[in-house]
Amino acid sequence: MKTQAQVVVIGGGVVGCSVLYHLTKYGWKDVMLIERSTLTSGSTWHAAGGFHTLNGDTNMAALQGYTIQLYKELEKITGMSCGLHHVGGITLADNQARFEMLKAERAKHRYMGLHTELFGPEEIEKYTDGLVNTKGIVGALYDPLDGHLDPSGTTHAYARAAKMGGAEIVEHNRVLETNPRADGTWDVVTEKGTVHAEHVVNAGGLWAREVGAMAGVYFPLLPMAHQYLVTDEIPEIMDILNSGREFPHVMDPGGESYLRQEGRGLCIGFYEKPCEGWSLDGTPWTFGHELLPDNLDKIEDSVAFAYKRFPVLEKAGVKNVIHGPFTFAPDGNPLIGPVPGLRNYWSACAVMAGFSQGGGMGKSLAEWMIHGETEVDPRGFDVARFGKWTTPGYTVPKVIENYQMRFSVSYPNEERPAARPFRTTPMYDIFDGMGAVWGQQYGLEVVNYFALPGEPRYETPSFKRSNAWEATAAEVRAVREAVGINEVQNFGKFRVKGPNARKWLDRIMAGAIPKQGRLSLTPMLSPKGKIIGDFTVTCLSETEFQITGSYGAQDQHLRWFEKNLEDGVTVENVSDRMTGFQIAGPNARELLSRVTRSDVSAEAFKFMDAKRMTIGMADCLVQRVSYTGDLGYEIFTDFMSQRSLWHTLWAAGQDLGLRPFGMRAMMSLRLDKLFGSWAREFSPDYFPGETGIDRFIRWNKESDWIGKAPATKEKAAGPKRKLCAFIVDAKDADVVAYEPIWIAGKVVGFCTSGGYSHWTGQSVAQGFVPTEMVRSGLEAEIEILGEMRKARLVEGPLWDADSARMRG
C-alpha cells in the first residue's frame, strides 16, 4: 500500500468505486480506495439492482440517465459483464392525482430528451402479458431505459475500470482516523498504515456517519431496513422467457412496491409504512455481509395488496427473503460535494439508489474536485443543503417520513410535517395566532400565507390551484392597495469586514460594489461563468458590507466565500442573528415615517439607499428596496429586538391597512414585475446573458472578477437562448417549473417558474426559448399536466412598467 496519494476514497461500495473511476476518467491517476472489508460490503451486495430515470428533480433524472447509459461503456472498457437487463418499466397510477404527476414528469422528459410514454390500462395489460391487475388503474408512465443489473458485477466493473486508469484499491483495511494538516491535506490512518492525501472522499455508506465523526462532521443520514422477496419459478414468467422476451419493471406506488423479473421468477420489494430505522446510534464496524432477520410482519399489508395487484404472486413460493439496510438523507437525495468548514474533504454519501444514481454522482463529484464545479446545478444533491442546525433528532423522523412517502404523490405545494416545527423566529407564536399556514426552508418555519377566517389551517396538496387562492389574493391586494408586512428572516445574510473588503467583493461579485449608504444588485459567477449567486450588496462603510441572498443556499455561498478568502477580509454568516421585516405598498413610506425620527422622504431616502435608524426602540438597518416591486423597505435588526420592532410597526399601521403576507403572495407579486427568482431563473445551470441578469454586471470595472472571461465571451457571441415571459391561457393549473414550451408543434424550450398574478389577473410563466425565435407577438404553447395551453410572449412588466411606484 502506498503512503502518498492525491485522493483517498473511503468505502468500496458502488458509489466509492464510481467516484474512483470518474477521477481516473477525468485525468487524476494518483488515487486510491480503501475498503474496510471487501468491495460491495455494506448495502451494495444485497441491493435489488434496479435502475430507472424517474425523478422529480430534472438534474437528478438527467444524471440517472447518464448512469444507465454508462453501464455499456463500462462493459466495453473492462470486458466484464454488468448483468444488464434493459427491460423497460412502467410506473402505475391508481388515482387521478398520481396520473397528473406522471403527466407532469412526462412533460419534463420531452425537453430532456428522455423518450417516455403514457399508457392506458389496455396498454399496461398488453405490456405486462396480463400479469398486472389494472382494476382501478388510471394509467402509467413507460420508460424504455428502466431495467436491472448485477450489483456485484457492476461494482467490480467500476473498480476494474478505475484500476485500468491507474487507481489503487486496498481491501481488508479499516480507516481508523482522518487527521487534517495545517496545509489542508489529510493523514488517513488505517490498520495497514497511514496515507498522506491531498483530498479525502467519504463514501462510507452505512458507516458514513462514523467516518465523518473522525473529521468532526455530522452527516444527516440514517440506514433504513429494507425488505424484498424473490419467488420460486413462475410458469407465466417461463412462458415470457420462452417467447424470447423478459418481464418489465413495474412500480406500483399505490401498493408501495416495485416488481421485476429475477431469473425464472419475480422479485418484489416494499416501502412499507411501518418501517424501521436501523442502527440509529451508529453502524457496528463488524457488520458487513450479513442480512437482518426476516420481518414479514411489517410488510404483511403490502404483500396482501401486492397479491391483488399481481395475482400471479399468490401462488408463487418464496425462495429468498432479503432484508438489509441502506442509507437515506432526510429528503432522500444524495449528499455530495465539498463539506462546509473543511478543506479538501468531500462527501459521497446517502446515495440510496446506487444503481440509478451512482454513476451520475461519481461524475459530478469528480468534476467538482477537478474543475471546481459540476456540469449541472448540484443544489438537489449538494451536501451543503443541510446546515449545522441538522441533528440526529431531526434526521431520524425526516428519513422515516421520506421512506414512508417514497412512493407517495409529490405535489409542488406540499409541506411534509415530520420534525416540525424545529427552527423558528421570535414571531412564530404571533404569526401562528394570526392564522399562519407554515412552510419550511432550510429547517426554518416560514409563513406561506395566513388562512382567512373559517378556512382550514393547512394548504391542500395539489397540482392545481389550491385552497390558498383567496387568502393569497387578499394579501396581494393589501400590498398593492395599502401596506403589507413580511419577515426577512429567510434571507441569507453575511457581514464582510476588513481593509480589503471592497477589493475582495469586486473580485467575488460581477456587479458594481456600491458607495457608502447605497446598495446594488449583483450576480456571483463561477470560474466557468455560470450563476452561483444573486445578491444585494450594501455598503455600510468602506470596511464593512452586508451581503443578502438566498437563505437556503447560505452554506453553499459561505463555502464559496471561504474558499476564495483573502488577507484583510473576514466573512461572517449572520443569517440567524439579523432578522426583521419588509414593508411594501403605497402606504409603506407613511408607516415608516410614523415610527422613526429619521427623514424618510423620497428626497432624503432614495431608491437603493441604505440607512441606519432607530425604529421604536430597535436599532435597525433600513434598505429602500423590495422584491414585491412596490414602494418598500427592508428593515433589519438584531434577533432579540424583532418582537419589539413588530409591535412598533403593527401599532402604527392599523389605520393604514397594514396586513401580514406570506411567501405565496410574495411569489405572485414578483410576477407582476417579471422578477427572476434564485434557483428558478438564476442557477448554476445558466449563464448571465441568457437570463438577463447580465444587466447587473459591471463589465468595465478594472478588477479581474471571477467568471469574467467566459461571461465576456458569452456576451460577445450572444446567448443561444433567452429567458422570456408569457401570459398563459391557463385553466385551473399554472406553470410550476420545467413544463415544455412548444412552438410550431415542436418542443423548443422549458419553463423556469410561473404562477398566477393575482393583481393583474393573469397566469404567468417564465422560461427559455431559442434566441432566434424570440420576437414581438410570439405565440407558443405550454404543456401543463398533459394539456396544451396557449401562451403569448410579453416584453415588459405587467404592472408599474416605468417603476414609478417602486422608485418614487
Residue 698 lies in a domain: no
What does pLDDT average to over the chain? 96
- Alpha-carbon span 468 to 471, nearest angstrom: 6
Say if residue 662 is in the same domain as residue 738.
Answer: no
The pLDDT, as a whole number, for residue 57 is 86
The residue from 310, 328, 346 where one domain ends is 328
For 388: left if phi > 0, alpha if psi spans -120 to 50, otherwise beta; the answer is alpha
| Residues 449-476 pLDDT 10s | 999 999 999 999 999 999 999 999 999 9
The pLDDT, as a whole number, for residue 686 is 97
The residue from 328, 353, 382 where one domain ends is 328
Q: Compute how many other C-beta atoms are within 10 angstroms of the C-beta atom of residue 592.
A: 24
| Residues 119-166 pLDDT 10s | 999 999 999 999 999 999 999 999 999 999 999 999 999 999 999 999
Average pLDDT in the 10-21 region? 98
| Residues 557-605 pLDDT 10s | 999 999 999 999 999 999 999 999 999 999 999 999 999 999 999 999 9
| Residues 62-97 pLDDT 10s | 999 999 999 999 999 999 999 999 999 999 999 999
User: Quick one: 248 exposed, middle or buried, by C-beta within 10 A (0-12, 13-18, 19+)?
Assistant: buried
The pLDDT, as a whole number, for residue 617 is 98
CATH number at residue 198: 3.50.50.60
The residue from 282, 299, 328 where one domain ends is 328
Residue 640 lies in a domain: yes
Closest by CA position to 649, among listed 621, 623, 617, 624: 617
Q: Which three cell numbers mark 552?
A: 437556503
Count of H helices and E strands in the chain? Answer: 20, 38
- Res. 53 pLDDT band, cuts 50 70 90: confident
Residue 403 lies in a domain: no
Residue 396 lies in a domain: no
The pLDDT, as a whole number, for residue 289 is 85
**CB 17 within 8 Å of CB 162:** yes
CATH number at residue 503: 3.30.1360.120
- Res. 114 pLDDT band, cuts 50 70 90: confident
Average pLDDT in the 277-286 region? 95
Residue 626 neighbours by CB under 8 Å, 6+ apart = 582, 584, 588, 632, 633, 634, 806
**CB 212 within 8 Å of CB 204:** yes
Say if residue 592 is in the same domain as residue 724.
Answer: no
Say if residue 172 is in the same domain as residue 268.
Answer: yes
Grid-cell match 462527501, residue found: 347
Say if residue 646 is in the same domain as residue 776.
Answer: no
pLDDT higher than 90, residue 54: no
Say if residue 560 is in the same domain as residue 653.
Answer: yes
Q: Which of 44-48, 224-228, 341-345, 478-482 has the lowest mean pLDDT?
A: 44-48
Go through 748-759 and write b for each residue having 16 or more CB atoms within 10 A of its CB, e for each that does not.
bbbbbbbbbbbb
CATH number at residue 755: 2.40.30.110
Grid-cell match 410488510, residue found: 299
Say if residue 614 is in the same domain as residue 733.
Answer: no
- Res. 110 pLDDT band, cuts 50 70 90: confident
Say if residue 213 is in the same domain as residue 299.
Answer: yes
**CB 631 within 8 Å of CB 585:** yes
Say if residue 90 is in the same domain as residue 188.
Answer: yes
Tell whether the torsion through CA atoms of 661, 666, 667 and 669 is positive or negative: positive
Nearest 5°: CA angle at 783, between 780 and 788?
70
pLDDT higher than 90, residue 111: no
Determine the structural domain holding residue 181 and report its residue range: 4-328
Nearest 5°: CA angle at 798, between 514 and 602?
40
The pLDDT, as a whole number, for residue 431 is 98
Say if residue 658 is in the same domain as residue 780.
Answer: no
| Residues 501-537 pLDDT 10s | 999 999 999 999 999 999 999 999 999 999 999 999 9
Say if residue 741 is in the same domain as residue 636.
Answer: no
Residue 444 lies in a domain: no
Residue 79 lies in a domain: yes
The pLDDT, as a whole number, for residue 288 is 83
- Alpha-carbon span 754 to 463, nearest angstrom: 13
Residue 424 lies in a domain: no
The DSSP call for residue 273 is: S
Say if residue 633 is in the same domain as residue 757.
Answer: no
| Residues 175-217 pLDDT 10s | 999 999 999 999 999 999 999 999 999 999 999 999 999 999 9
| Residues 694-706 pLDDT 10s | 999 999 999 999 9
pTM of the predicted model as reported, rounded to 2 decimal places: 0.96
Say if residue 152 is in the same domain as residue 235.
Answer: yes
pLDDT higher than 90, residue 113: no
Q: How many domains does the chain have?
A: 3
Residue 685 lies in a domain: no
- Alpha-carbon span 547 to 537, nearest angstrom: 5
The pLDDT, as a whole number, for residue 496 is 98
